[in-house]
Structure formats: structure tokens, C-alpha cells
Amino acid sequence: MTLTPHVYWAQRHEEIYLRVELTDAQNIAVRVHENVLQFRAQGHGAKGQNEYKFSLEFLLPVKPEISYKSTQRQVNITVRKEQHGWWERLIVQERKPVFLAPDFDRWLDESDAEMEIRLKEEKRNRLKASRHQEDGFISLKTGFLFVYNLVQFLGFSWIFVNMTVRLFIFGQDSLYDTFHTISDVMFFCQILATVEVLNAAFGVVRTGVIPTLIQVVGRNFILFIIFGSLEEMHHRPVVFFVFYLWSAIEIFRYPFYMLGCFNTEWKTLTWLRYTIWIPLYPLGVLAEAVAVIQSIPLFDETKLFSIPLPKVIDTSISFSYILYIYLVLMFLGLYINLCHLYKQRKRRFRTKKRKAN
Ligand SMILES: CCCCCCCCCCCCC[C@@H](O)CC(=O)SCCNC(=O)CCNC(=O)[C@H](O)C(C)(C)COP(=O)(O)OP(=O)(O)OC[C@H]1O[C@@H](n2cnc3c(N)ncnc32)[C@H](O)[C@@H]1OP(=O)(O)O
């Protein structure tokens, strides 16, 4: 005697779903030939562990390729309709066989199914639109970062090359007029560098705000307050050392970022970006500290930026006190940024190694 399993069905405009109630089905044979689906399998059904089979002649043409998935409780079969449309019933015979019933878990009537299609379509369109928006934002961000890094690279390269050439041509004399030849471009680059704090704050780049703030505020303090406001500092060799050390890292850092904008890297450049800060950063802070120390008597003499006290006391608080505090802050800043750069270096080379494995 042929045993038939319970079969439940539902449809969409493009597909037919069949759920065959057989537990632990094995040796499943299912195929569609000339719109007739034939199914045979062994499993546990309404009549216990047995071989079960059934066949269905579909009402309208279907594609011969079918897909099925057997789970512990049932076999799910998906058949694709030859033509997109809604069928009034599943099979050719008007009287449905007793083993066949609607699958109410998946059942939709035609208007529900149309609504489902519309919702899917809308979801797809929304996804597409947000992807377009995202792509637009990413390319705008990449373009902005690339131009920013390029401008900084050109600025710092000009500074570095100019100072090197002048050193070769004028020797020691070039140390005394660095400020006059270089300061305009350095002012421009360092004002522009405040963009890096905003980039970090608004998540445009993946980096911490504090290290960037320390870097930008630290340099701008030296550039604008110590060098910019005291003419007596302009001819000191310390300007040369500070500017040279600052630009020496930037001629590697910015091209590294430029390549990063296109997800590209040049290993030597990456190594230089994450390595030469090791000698340059402490030397840079040392040069900046020398500049601050040299400026202290000048601020005392000129009383520039001193804070006046009430007339009866007839004195003022010299700016040099602020500079002593700043000297302490500098070494605190140096410590924070050395730790940050060390972490960034470890992260970069660890990731690279993992990728290589
Ligand atoms: C709170 C204020 C208190 C003020 C107190 C003042 C204290 C004073 C302390 C003074 C210390 C300053 C001394 C300093 O002036 C001395 C010198 O500069 S000497 C010369 C040597 N200097 C250096 O080597 C430092 C150079 N500067 C830097 O490295 C950065 O400015 C720093 C913030 C320190 C670290 O950079 P960052 O955190 O950004 O690390 P990464 O380069 O690894 O970048 C992280 C990821 O972000 C991507 N990124 C970053 N910037 C850009 C960009 N412009 N364009 C594109 N992409 C960018 C980068 O690719 C990384 O992405 P991923 O991880 O995906 O690779």
C-alpha cells in the first residue's frame, strides 16, 4: 500500500511552497517533470516509520529546477512558477487530495502577497538609496581627506626641502633666519592642522581627540605664542630645530594618509610613519622646551601677556609662571602621546602580521 505524508502548501506570485510532514526524512527523491512533482522518502510520518510518496500535477507550468531542505521535523520544497502570477488552486484536479492542505503558517491571499512584494520593493529601494547616500558620503570624505593631506604634504615638504637646501648652501647662517623664510608656510600648515582635531572629534578618522588636541595645541602654542609674539626669538637657532623636527615626520605621515584614502599602502612608508616618531618626538619636545626656557627671560623683560594686579600692589604676574606650568604640561603631553603612538604602532604591525598569516 502507498503511504502519503501530509503536505501543506502556500504560494507567492513567483513560487510555490510545499511542507511535507515527515520527521527525520532520508533518501529523499524529489523531481518535477512536465509540471508533475514526484516525491519519495523514508521517514516518520502519520503511519510511523515508512516509505512515503506522493505526486502533484500543478495547475500551471513550473520550472523543472526545484529546491528542498530537510529538517528534523519536515521537508520544505520550493518550486518556481514558470510565469509570475496568482493561481486559483495548486493542482489540475478540482478536488484536492486528502493529504493536501493550505499551509496557514505561510498562507497569504493575493492582495497580501502583492502588499508583501510592494513592501519588499520599498525596502530594497530604501536600501539602495541609503547605499547611494553612504557611497556619496564616503567618496566626499575620501576626497576631502585626500586634498587635506595633499595640501599638508606639499606645505611640509616645501618647508623641509627649503630648510635642507638652505642648510647646504648657507651652512650655520641658515639657522638664524628660519623664521623669516619659513614661518608663513608653517603658520598656514599649523592653522590648517586644527582640522585634524575636528576630524577626530566628529569621527571622520579613527583616532583619539586628546592626542590630536595635545599635538595641535602644543605646536600652535610654540608657533604663535613663543615664536610669533616675541621678535627676539625669530633669529634663534632653536626655531630651525623645532621646524625641522616637525616637518621631518609630516613628510612621511601625510603621504601615508594619502595612500590610506585609497586603501593602499607602501610598506616602507608605513614603517617610517610608525617608527621615526621614536627619536623625533622626544627630540621635538626637547627643542620646544628649549624654546620655552629661552623665552622666559624675554617675557619677564617685556612683560608681554603679564596679568596686571590691582593698582595698590603695583605689580603684575609674569607670563613666565604660565610657561613653567606649560613646561610640566609638555612632558605630561609627551608621555600621553608617546603611549598613544606606541599603541598605534603596535596595532598597525599586529594587524599586518595577522593579515599576513
Ligand atoms: C588638552 C590640551 C592640552 C594642551 C597641553 C599642551 C601640552 C603640550 C604637549 C606638546 C607635545 C607636542 C610635541 C610635538 O609638537 C612635537 C613634535 O611633533 S616632534 C616631531 C615628531 N612628531 C610626531 O611624530 C607626531 C606626529 N603627529 C601624529 O602622529 C598625530 O598628530 C597624532 C595625533 C600624535 C597621532 O596620530 P593618529 O592618532 O591619527 O594615529 P594614526 O596615524 O595611526 O591614525 C589613526 C587612523 O586614522 C587615520 N587618519 C588619521 N589622520 C588621517 C588623515 N588626515 N587622513 C586620512 N586618515 C587619517 C589613519 O589612517 C588611521 O587609520 P587606520 O587605523 O584605518 O589605518
Does residue 207 line the site of ligand 1, with CB under 6 A? Answer: yes
Cα 183 to ligand 1 centroid, rounded to whole Å:
21
Q: What is the pLDDT of residue 110?
A: 83
Cα 259 to ligand 1 centroid, rounded to whole Å:
16
Does residue 344 line the site of ligand 1, with CB under 6 A? Answer: yes
Cα 56 to ligand 1 centroid, rounded to whole Å:
70
Catalytic choice (17, 68, 176, 281): 281
Q: What is the pLDDT of residue 138?
A: 76
Cα 116 to ligand 1 centroid, rounded to whole Å:
51
Helix/strand/coil (H, E, C) string of the chain?
CCECCCEEEEECCCEEEEEECCEEEEEEEEEEECCEEEEEEEEEECCEEEEEEEEEEECCCEEEEEEEEECCCCEEEEEEECCCCCCCCCECCCCCCCCEEECCCCCCCHHHHHHHHHHHHHHHHHHHHHHHHHHHHHHHHHHHHHHHHHHHHHHHHHHHHHHHHHHHHHHHHHHHCHHHHHHHHHHHHHHHCHHHHHHHHCCCCCCCHHHHHHHHHHHHHHHHHHHCCCHHHCCCHHHHHHHHHHHHHHHHHHHHHHHHCCCCCCHHHHHHHCCCHHHHHHHHHHHHHHHHHHHHHHHHHHCCCCEECCCCCCCEECCHHHHHHHHHHHHHHHHHHHHHHHHHHHHHHHHHHHHHC
Nearest CA to ligand 1 atom 15: 219
Does residue 215 line the site of ligand 1, with CB under 6 A? Answer: yes
- The one-digit pLDDT tens for each residue of the chain (357 residues) are 779 999 999 999 999 999 999 999 999 999 999 999 999 999 999 889 999 999 999 999 999 999 999 999 999 999 999 999 999 999 999 998 999 999 999 998 888 888 888 899 999 999 999 888 888 777 899 999 999 999 999 999 999 999 999 999 999 999 999 999 999 999 999 999 999 999 999 999 999 999 999 999 999 999 999 999 999 999 999 999 999 999 999 999 999 999 999 899 999 999 999 999 999 999 999 999 999 999 999 999 999 999 888 877 777 889 999 999 999 999 999 999 999 999 999 999 986 555 544
Cα 290 to ligand 1 centroid, rounded to whole Å:
22
214, three cell numbers: 595635545
Does residue 166 line the site of ligand 1, with CB under 6 A? Answer: no
Does residue 338 line the site of ligand 1, with CB under 6 A? Answer: no
Cα 333 to ligand 1 centroid, rounded to whole Å:
12
Nearest CA to ligand 1 atom 62: 206
Overall pTM > 0.80: no
Cα 215 to ligand 1 centroid, rounded to whole Å:
7
Give the atom of ligand 1 at the shortest distance from the alpha carbon of 145.
55
Strands 23-33 and 48-57: unpaired
Nearest CA to ligand 1 atom 19: 284
Q: What is the pLDDT of residue 227?
A: 98
Does residue 257 line the site of ligand 1, with CB under 6 A? Answer: yes
112, three cell numbers: 497580501
Nearest CA to ligand 1 atom 13: 285
Nearest CA to ligand 1 atom 48: 205
Give the atom of ligand 1 at the shortest distance from the alpha carbon of 333.
9
Catalytic choice (288, 324, 335, 342): 288
Cα 111 to ligand 1 centroid, rounded to whole Å:
59
Nearest CA to ligand 1 atom 64: 206
Q: What is the pLDDT of residue 247?
A: 98
Does residue 333 line the site of ligand 1, with CB under 6 A? Answer: yes
Instruction: Please confirm, yes or no, whether 281 is among the known catalytic residues.
Output: yes
Does residue 325 line the site of ligand 1, with CB under 6 A? Answer: no
Does residue 153 line the site of ligand 1, with CB under 6 A? Answer: no
